[in-house]
């Protein structure tokens, strides 16, 4: 049986979401540090582009491709909503919104994997 790349893709997104949540937590913890510039991770689409995800050729008539490992997820300075007098660019409201986005994405990722796993089990007659 050929490998199912949906699980690898979901794993990569879960890793990216974990890095993003850790970056948000770091921003929140540094919210009172003078001169601290808030950080943000690169968008998942950019991380996914680096993997060069392609179709798997299972027949001579199929278009070929390969699946490379994702590179390290980079961080960059986030675009601030506001900058305090101490030149700190962390906005707690912005970080809480990002945290909610990450939580929703984790829930969606988990739900998709659970459904796909259930479909695989059903196709094998295990359910």
Give the range with max mean pLDDT: 5-14, 31-40, 95-104.
95-104
> Does the pLDDT of residue 96 top 80, yes or no?
yes
pTM, two decimal places: 0.70
Range of the structural domain that residue 25 is part of: 5-123
Higher pLDDT, 62 or 76: 76
How many independent structural domains does the chain possess?
1
Average pLDDT for the chain: 79
> Does the pLDDT of residue 109 top 50, yes or no?
yes
pLDDT of residue 103: 95
* CA nearest neighbour of 44 among 97, 115, 3, 101: 101
* CA nearest neighbour of 41 among 58, 18, 9: 18
What average pLDDT does the segment 72-97 reach? 77
- Name the DSSP letter for residue 70: P
């Amino acid at each position: 049986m050929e490998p199912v790349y949906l699980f690898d893709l979901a794993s990569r997104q879960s890793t990216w979401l974990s890095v993003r949540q850790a970056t948000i937590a770091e921003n929140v913890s540094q919210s009172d540090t003078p001169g601290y510039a808030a950080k943000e991770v690169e968008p998942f689409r950019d991380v996914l582009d680096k993997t060069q995800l392609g179709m798997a050729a299972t027949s001579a008539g199929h278009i070929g491709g390969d699946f490379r490992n994702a590179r390290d997820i980079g961080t960059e300075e986030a675009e601030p909503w506001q900058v305090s007098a101490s030149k700190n660019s962390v906005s707690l409201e912005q970080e809480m919104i990002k945290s909610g986005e990450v939580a929703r994405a984790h829930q969606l990722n988990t739900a998709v994997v659970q459904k796909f796993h259930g479909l695989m089990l059903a196709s094998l007659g295990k359910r």
